[in-house]
Structures are given as C-alpha cells and as structure tokens.
Structure 1
Amino acid sequence: MAVSLSWHLLAQPQLWQLLVLALLPIVSLSLITSIRRSRSSGKGDLNLPSCPARVPVLGNLHQLGSLPHRSLRELARRHGPVMLLHLGMVPTLVISSASAAKEVMKDQDVSCCSRPASPGPIRLSYGRRDVAFAPYNECWRETRRLFIMEVLSLGRVKAAWGARQEQVEKLVRALGAQAGEGQKKKAVALDEHIFRLVDGIIGTVAFGNVYGTEMFARKDKGKERRFQQVLDEAMDMMGSFSAEDFFPNAAGRLVDRLTGLVGRRERIFRELDAFYEAVIRQHLDPARPKPDNGGDLVDVLLSLCKEPRGTLSFTMDHVKALLMNTFVGGIYTSSVTILWAMSELIRKPRVLKKVQEEIRAVVGSNNGSDREPRVQPDDVPKLSYLKMVVKETLRLYPPVTLLLPRETMRQVKISGYDVPAKTRVLVNAWAIGRDAASWGEDAEEFDPDRFEPAGSAHQVDFNGGHFELLPFGAGRRMCPGLAMGVTNVEFTLANLLCCFDWALPEGTTAGELSMEEDGSLTFHRKTPLLLVLTPYVPPPRA
C-alpha cells in the first residue's frame, strides 16, 4: 500500500484567498518565531539542500500543479535530485534519483521510516491503527508482522487462486457478451470491467461468500450510492492534503472546517464504518457456517481480537483499519496498472503481438482444441515476456507516483546535505522510473524488451533491491501487498490478451489515444479506455 498527494483542494481560487486571509497573521508570527529559534539553535549553520524561491505564507505550494509528480520533476531538474521545499509551514525533502532514494530507503531507512500525521488518513485509519499510515514504533512492527503472516503470505496468495479464476471467468464472459459480431462490433470501456474484477478478487479473499458491493447500496438525496462511489471518495480523501497538513495549527483546522472538508471526511468515515460493521456482524453470526479453509481475511483478523498474539492488543478498530488498507491498497493500484498496460500495448502492435504469441503458445500446449483458451495458474510462471510487460508498465506508471510520505525521526545526512528531524520526505518514484541516467535516452518509451536477458535492465526488479524501480517502495515501509497485487495483474492481463484480439475504435490511431493522467491517491487514465475486442479462436490442431 502506498499514497500520493492531491492538490485539488488548494487548486480552488476561493480556497487560496480564504487560506491566505485566515493564515497570514498566525503564520507570519510562526515564521518569525521559527527563524529566531533556528538562529539560536545553530540550525542556520546546517548544510541544507537546494530550495526553490518561495513566497510568504504559502512557501512553495504555488509551484505544484494538479499532477505533483510532474511538477516536482521539473523543479528537480533545476534544483537537483535532493531538494528541500517548504509546503506552507512544513519542510519537505523531495527525492528524484535512484542514488538518493537508496540513502533514504536503505542507508538511512531506520531514521526516515516514520509517517507524518495527516488528518484524513488518521481518521480513515481509525487513529493510525493500520499498516500504511501508522508511525514507526513497536505497535506498527507487530501489526505489520501479523498482517503479512496472516493475510499477505505466499500461502494466502496461493489460496486466492479460486477467487482469481472465478472473477477472471466472469470478466471474460462479460466482455465476450459485449463484443458483438461483424459490423456491429462496438468499443467497450474497460475501466468499469477491470475495477469490478479486482474488486471481486480482493472482496472475496477479504470477506468470503458474504461479500457483495450491493450490500452497501444506500440512498443519498434520492440517488443510490454504491460501495464503489464511497470508495472513490475515500481514495480522494486519503490522497488529499488538507490545509491542516500544510499549516498544522488552529488556522489550518479552521480553514478545513470552513471549506467543508471536515464534514465530508466524517461522512465518508461513517459510511465506510457502517460497511465494515455489517461485514463483521455477518462473520460473528453464530448461524454462519464454519469455514473449512480457516476462513477469510475477516475471520483471521477477528481471531486476533479473541486470541492476542505477541504484545499487540488487537481491537475491532485494528480490524477495520486493516480492511481499509486491503481495499484502498489492493483494488485501485491493480486496476490502474492493468489499464495502463492495455493502453501501452494497444499503442505498440509489435509488443502486443509478441506477448500474445507467448501466452497463446503456452496455453495451446496445455489445452485441448475442444476447450476455450484460458490461462491457468500454472501457466503464469512460464510467461516471461508478460512479466516484462508488467515490469515496464510499473516503471512508467507506478500507481502511487510519490509513494507514501515518510518523516525523519532524527537529523540525518542525505547526499551530503543535513536533513532536520520532523522533515517530510517524498520519493518521486515516477520521476526515478523515467530518469535517463538509469534508463537511457529512451526512458520515456514503453519498451519491455529492455528487460530481456540481453537488455540493459535485465537484472532490475521491483522487489525493493533496485532503487531505479520503486513502484512498491523499499525498506521497512515497502508495500506488503506486492505479491498479491502483481499476481492479480499478471493473471488478469494474461487472460485478457489470450482470450481476445484488441484494436482501437475505427478512425482512432495510436497517436490519438489519450494518455492523460488524473487522480489523487492513484493516478489513473483521465478518460475511459475504449477498445474493440474480438474473441480469439485457436486454430485447429493438426
């Protein structure tokens, strides 16, 4: 699980005006006090990283656009890969190179692995009782250990194959029904189908047979609100930094109340909490049949409440917080990756043909001609080129572009610079994945062949040991759901590419396909991906 920044709130002109008016007197006094303290403490003698010119009150906030990973890369090109910004009152170190990322996430990881306190994540994670947003301490270490051992272990990933196959089969059937025939073929929007697929996989693994987003349908001002809509809002809230994030004082809290952010946050929290409560009640129902396989995620988490392990006192709030991690971290990141992969493949016919030929050759050698072509779990390890396609997609489109913000727990040195304690740290995984210093002059090009045995990046992987490729982060705060997420992406992509031939709508060229980004917690396609598909019919065996 990882998170990025969203500047949607601060991009509104009326909020800028309100923010400046409300904060100017308080922040000015705070800045004067801060300067005096730093001078008296000798802080002014520190060798601080380069900092772009800033304006009063806002600092460098005005230099960030709606796509902060892109804005920060442009700033880093002028001020260096280790750059100190002042976002409001908050000093923020921005890392944009593999070597600097290694220092933060390996050499100085123990000093740079805590999390800043952010009002939105604090509320939606039940007071940071989760794995993603909790500060670094003994409680977090115990929670993470239990979460990985009981939920995200390789055994659990393997146990999810039934749900994975069931949901992929539903997806293939649904797409096949929409494909049409002859001249009636129409473009299909993949986005909703992919979200529903990954939602079904994660939901079934987490909640078992009781899962179904329809159970969360509610009426809001006469309109039905479904779980996906609430989850969308939660995603935005988790990825949005409020005024209090940049101005952690009474004025920041006042602005968040005046803009309605606090009220919206509470509404989203109540709706998600009601969903978790309903699921927990169903699992605690004495009439519910006892699971044969040891139970789903909720069963496991509830057992930790009844039978504590280690020093952690596990509560219902821990259960709900980890369910939030599972959904936010599992559904959107996998969905976004699948859609970016399909977007790039449709623009590169050579690569699309190569990966389809590999998949169909493996499936054809295992299946008789009387069976519909399907990729089986045992086929996936044989699909080396598909794995390169996924790796190249994650290089160019890490689902969470700035990873999850870190915070230094003590003063450290990064690339020779002094970084004070309580400095927020952002690692721009998107910029690092496109850095020509690591990837060559074609760093912006989608080319899975670079990972071939004879390629320049053959040894590079995303397991946290190679800092030029960081879609899941590295070090102590590396995303624990890596194995589950990658398996879902590879298996889904393999079946989409095996079962259908794909084309752009008539009259659309590869160069015209929009690749614009949008989002907050994850950066996804701004427009739906519309493709024409034709069911694949294997040639008869000789």
Structure 2
Amino acid sequence: MRMKSIRVDDWVFFFLTLSLCVAARFLLSLLFTTNSSPHKQKSTSEAALPIPPGPIHIPLLTPLLWLRRSLFDVEPLLRRLRAEYGPIFAVRITFRPAIFIADRRLAHDALVHHGAVFADRPSSNQANNLITSNQHNISSAPYGPLWRLLRRNLTSGILQTARVRLFADSRRWVLGILLRRLKARAEADAGVVVVMESFQHAMFCLLVLICFGEKLDEKAIGEIEAAQRRLVAYIVKLNVFSFFPRITRLVFRKLWNTLVAIRRRQEELFIPLIRKRRERYQQLQNQEEHGDFVYSYVDSLLGLCLPDEGGRELTDGEIVSLCSEFLTAGTDTTATALQWIMAHIVKEQHVQRKLFDEIEAVAGAQAEEISEDDLQRMPYLKAVILEGLRRHPPGHFVLPHTVSEDVSFNGYLVPKGSPVNFTVAEMGWDEKLWAQPMEFRPERFLAGGEGEEVDLTGSREIKMMPFGVGRRICPGMSLAMLHLEYFLANLVREFDWKPVEGEEVDLSEVLELTVMMKHPLRSRITPRM
C-alpha cells in the first residue's frame, strides 16, 4: 500500500510560511546573541573542537532538497560525502547537524566503548508521539529507566531461550500455513509464486500468536495485518512533522487526520484482545492448573509498573503501541531478509543444491519436517543466512542514535541532541574486510573464510551489523535468526526453486520501511516429494 504524494501547493505554502518563521528566528537570534551573553558556556576544549566536516548548509534550500528525496535516493549522495569528507561527516538539514559514521572501527568505538553516551534517541515529533504513546515503546524511548524496563521485560519475558522453545508448536502451525499457501498459489499460476506476500502473512500469523497468545481466525488476522500495513505505509512520511509542528499540522492536516484514523483503528482491533487477555490472566491467578495457557507478550505487559511515573501500570493505549512495535519489527525485517535469501537461492542454483544436500544429510529423507534441534547441525544453512544479511541487510541504517551530552569523538564535537547515523550496509560491503563483497558467497562464513565466527553482536569487532550493535541492538536477534533458519530449511526441503522461464532474478532495491526487492521475487516451485 502506497501513500499518495503530498500536493505541490501544500509544499509551496509550507515553505513560504517556513521562510517567514526562519527569518524571524534568525533576526531574534542575532538580537539576543549580540546584546546578551549565553546562559551556558562550553568548556574550552569542547569549544575548540570542530563539528565533523560536511557540505555547505543553505537555510531553507537545504531542508527542501533533503525532504524531497527518499532515504534511498540519499544513499549515493552519502557515499560521495564519505569519499570527500572521510568516515565521519555532518549534514545540516535542520538546526542540528546530522552526524554520519561510515566506518566499522569508529562505529565500534561509539556503540561499544562509548555505548552509554551514544545510546539515546532524538526527540520525537508529534506524529511519532501519536503512534508510540509519547515514546512508550522500546525503539523510541529515551535511554533511561523506562527503556531499560520495557527492554528487560521483552528479553526476559518472551525472548529468553526457554520461553522461545514453548512456541515451537506455533512455528510448526505457521509453517503449515505457509506451505499450503505457496502450494495453492503455485497451482493457480502454473507453478509460479510471488513469495513476499506469503512470507509476510506467515510471519505476521506467528507474531500475532506470540503477541496475543491465541490463534485468531483468518478474518481477525487479516484485519490486524491490514491496519499494520497501513501504518507502515505512512511511517516514512512522518518526518515532515519535525518542522514547526503547529504549522505542519495545519498544512498537512489530511495526513495528520489519516494518522489519527490509523491509530484509532489499531485501538479498535487491539484493545478487545488486550482486555480479553487481562480477564483470562486474572482468572488464572486463582487456579493451580493453567491447562494449555501459553504466556504471551501482552501477558508480560499487563502487570508492568512504571516506577518513574508513580508506579502506575501501562495504559491500554501504551500496550497497543508496544504490540504494534512488536508486530512490525518481527514481521517486515524477517520477511524481507527471507525474500532476499530466497532470491539468491533461486538465482544461484549451486547454493540451493549444496543447502539441500546438507538438509537431507542431517534431517534424513523420511523426516516429516526439519526440527529446531536439526538446525544446530547445519553450518551451511547458517552461512547462507549470514551472507544474505551481510549482502542485503533489511535496513541500510539503524534507527538514529543521539548523544546525551556534548561529546569529543575522533577529534570532532558531536553536539548533544544531534542525530547520529550508522551506515549498516556499507560496513558489510567493506572491500578491506570482505573479498568481492557484492558477490553472494556463503562459504566466506565457513572455516577459513573471512567471516568465520563472525560476531553479530559486534561486541568484539564490527564486521557487519544487520541487527545494530551496542545497547540498542535488536533484542529479537536470536529469535529472528531462528525463524530464518527454520523457515528457509523447510522451504528448500519442501520445494525445488527455479527461475521463471525467460525472467532474470532482479536484485534491484527499493526503500519502503525496509530495503525491499524492487521487483518482488517470482519463482517456479515444484514439490520435492
């Protein structure tokens, strides 16, 4: 689902208004900086440090040029800036410079050695506050007690190894949904399937079950999925509300009203499920036997208290925001990564043959499915997935970090509150580390390869960072790897994947919420059994 373009006359009115506001702000700043001393002086050492180098900033024109580009259009420009200014540079888009770090050693220094300082998030605009309940979720919460509480709750309540094992039957159920869906699509189109929609649906079914603790019917899942898809389609447009909030809400009132409607629809769908879960959870507190009850993400949130906010419990609206975050983060990134990997499985037939041979050797020809224990004995399977994540990380940038105080870093000043961005894709394509980095070669992650024993957490060294690094590393990394291994192995064992006759597998990219295939993968599949 794609959002219609914002009208040109809206942009003209917005920037005319913005011009007047900036001019007034500039004159006032001149007046007050000329006739009064600043309230706070920086230390002598900080004042002497320059901000990282970057292109010239032209008020009004520079923000307009950047806002009119998608992030994907900006990537080639950022590569040129890196070549011109070095591994750390600044781009002035707003009143604060945006810092870009495009070197794996500098990224390690920032995110690991100075992790606490670089772990904050930029201030949120009003649109993000609407969909995150004023930053009451893990990805946008400022670095502090709330963030620690929410993240610890997720990792210890749902993502711990013992808890993840309890959802093995759920993964088996969703695998059945995915295989039946692919077979039906293939039968309807002479054996050809477009895989992404099926991958997204399967991942969504699984995450809904883990989130709400029950197998919903197709209608209910479809309604939740449609609401989340609509939200995702609009997320990339929210930055416009970072500039002069009162004005942008007037100029882009249709966009704002759409966001309000999306949020209202989420609450209509999620809150009845949350309240139903609360009632059952309360009933079970007085029972010794819990039957087939499976602890869900919502359950972990129901009794969670916020010590820094008077010890109050989370509101239903805040739980909606956390559930929305859980579903989006766990669905799109995994489905996107799986599609990219399958594209290379189809394109590189020798990789598919080698992977299938390993699967047969470990699981056996007569096994009904590949168990999760079998996955631990498949090094080539893991190598294929790691190569897919290195070559095609679902996000070419992690969510922006910011520093909690003025920081001296690599000879430059990183100002407090400035967004700090890390070029994830470029680090995985570093020619100094990876031989022929744009080739898909899983063997590089086997014994003797340059990626052998790669550390995905980046705690020792950053060679690739598809899940981020440091204190803000994706908490669902292990779960995502399990899902990729489980579904990829079973898909390759179940079907022989071939290119469609007369069609090339096109690896061109396009940015949506994640970096997707510009032309979704089409493949001819044939059941192996």
What TM-score does the superposition give when structure 2 sets the normalisation length? Answer: 0.88
Q: Which moved more, 1:278-287 or 1:342-351?
A: 278-287
1:446 is matched with 440
Matched, 1:458 2:421: no
> Where do residues 11-410 of structure 1 align in structure 2 (5 Å cutoff)?
13-31=8-26, 45-59=48-62, 62=65, 64-67=69-72, 68-116=74-122, 117-180=124-187, 185-212=190-217, 214-215=219-220, 226-245=223-242, 247-248=243-244, 250-257=246-253, 260-285=254-279, 292-304=292-304, 313-316=312-315, 317-364=317-364, 368=366, 372=368, 374-410=369-405
Q: Distance in 1 between matches of 2:379 and 2:6?
A: 43
Aligned pair in 2 of structure 1 residues 500, 135: CA closer, same or farther (>3 Å)?
Answer: same
Q: Distance in 1 between matches of 2:47 and 2:244?
A: 23
Q: Distance in 2 between matches of 1:383 and 1:92?
A: 42
SS of the aligned residue for 1:166 comes to helix
Q: Which moved more, 1:348-357 or 1:204-213?
A: 204-213
Q: Which moved more, 1:336-345 or 1:428-437?
A: 428-437
Q: Distance in 2 between matches of 1:94 and 1:150?
A: 35
Q: Distance in 1 between matches of 2:438 and 2:484?
A: 22
Q: Which moved more, 1:33-42 or 1:398-407?
A: 33-42
Q: Distance in 2 between matches of 1:12 and 1:99?
A: 43
Q: Contact 1:464/1:478 (CA < 8 Å) preserved in 2?
A: no
State the number of aligned residues: 508
Q: Distance in 1 between matches of 2:16 and 2:308?
A: 51
Q: Distance in 2 between matches of 1:92 and 1:169?
A: 46
Q: Distance in 2 between matches of 1:250 and 1:215?
A: 37
Q: Contact 2:345/2:497 (CA < 8 Å) preserved in 1?
A: no
Q: Which moved more, 1:76-85 or 1:485-494?
A: 76-85
Q: Distance in 1 between matches of 2:7 and 2:429?
A: 30
Q: Contact 1:464/1:472 (CA < 8 Å) preserved in 2?
A: no
2:524 is matched with 532
How far is the alpha carbon of 1:459 from its aligned partner? 2.8
**Aligned Cα root-mean-square deviation (Å):** 3.0
Aligned pair in 2 of structure 1 residues 463, 37: CA closer, same or farther (>3 Å)?
Answer: farther
Q: Which moved more, 1:461-470 or 1:498-507?
A: 461-470
**Which consecutive unaligned segments of at least 5 residues does structure 1 have?**
1-6, 218-225, 538-542
How far is the alpha carbon of 1:535 from its aligned partner? 0.7
Residue deviations 1:192-225 (CA, integer Å, cap 9, x gap): 11111111111111122253452266xxxxxxxx
How far is the alpha carbon of 1:66 from its aligned partner? 4.7
Matched, 1:481 2:476: yes
2:287 is matched with none
Aligned pair in 2 of structure 1 residues 75, 8: CA closer, same or farther (>3 Å)?
Answer: farther
How far is the alpha carbon of 1:230 from its aligned partner? 1.9
Aligned pair in 2 of structure 1 residues 428, 256: CA closer, same or farther (>3 Å)?
Answer: farther
SS of the aligned residue for 2:321 comes to helix
SS of the aligned residue for 1:437 comes to coil
Q: Distance in 1 between matches of 2:186 and 2:77?
A: 40
Q: Distance in 2 between matches of 1:430 and 1:12?
A: 33
How far is the alpha carbon of 1:320 from its aligned partner? 2.1
- Counterpart amino acid of 1:141? R
Residue deviations 1:429-467 (CA, integer Å, cap 9, x gap): 122222223324x11221111111111121323123232
How far is the alpha carbon of 1:253 from its aligned partner? 4.2
- Counterpart amino acid of 1:187? V
Q: Distance in 1 between matches of 2:218 and 2:266?
A: 12
Residue deviations 1:248-277 (CA, integer Å, cap 9, x gap): 4544444443xx221121111111111111
Q: Contact 2:3/2:234 (CA < 8 Å) preserved in 1?
A: no
Q: Distance in 1 between matches of 2:19 and 2:156?
A: 49
Q: Distance in 1 between matches of 2:381 and 2:33?
A: 56
Aligned pair in 2 of structure 1 residues 10, 28: CA closer, same or farther (>3 Å)?
Answer: farther
Q: Contact 2:153/2:300 (CA < 8 Å) preserved in 1?
A: no
SS of the aligned residue for 1:524 comes to strand
Q: Distance in 2 between matches of 1:439 and 1:459?
A: 14
Q: Distance in 1 between matches of 2:17 and 2:309?
A: 47
Aligned pair in 2 of structure 1 residues 234, 177: CA closer, same or farther (>3 Å)?
Answer: closer
Q: Distance in 2 between matches of 1:213 and 1:177?
A: 16
- Counterpart amino acid of 1:524? M
- Counterpart amino acid of 1:53? I
Q: Distance in 2 between matches of 1:66 and 1:408?
A: 22
- Counterpart amino acid of 1:101? A
Q: Contact 2:427/2:464 (CA < 8 Å) preserved in 1?
A: yes
How far is the alpha carbon of 1:32 from its aligned partner? 5.5
Higher relative contact order (CA 8 A, sep 6+): 1
Q: Distance in 2 between matches of 1:499 and 1:330?
A: 24
How far is the alpha carbon of 1:399 from its aligned partner? 1.4
Matched, 1:518 2:510: yes
What TM-score does the superposition give when structure 1 sets the normalisation length? Answer: 0.86
Aligned pair in 2 of structure 1 residues 452, 85: CA closer, same or farther (>3 Å)?
Answer: same
Matched, 1:434 2:429: yes
Q: Distance in 1 between matches of 2:488 and 2:307?
A: 39
1:223 is matched with none
Q: Identity of paired residues, percent?
A: 26
How far is the alpha carbon of 1:89 from its aligned partner? 2.9
Q: Distance in 2 between matches of 1:113 and 1:162?
A: 36
Q: Contact 2:200/2:335 (CA < 8 Å) preserved in 1?
A: yes
SS of the aligned residue for 2:420 comes to strand
SS of the aligned residue for 1:436 comes to coil
Aligned pair in 2 of structure 1 residues 338, 70: CA closer, same or farther (>3 Å)?
Answer: farther
How far is the alpha carbon of 1:17 from its aligned partner? 2.7
Q: Distance in 2 between matches of 1:320 and 1:343?
A: 34
How far is the alpha carbon of 1:185 from its aligned partner? 3.3
Q: Distance in 2 between matches of 1:249 and 1:235?
A: 21
- Counterpart amino acid of 1:381? Q
Q: Contact 1:108/1:412 (CA < 8 Å) preserved in 2?
A: no
1:3 is matched with none
Q: Distance in 2 between matches of 1:479 and 1:17?
A: 39
- Counterpart amino acid of 2:297? L
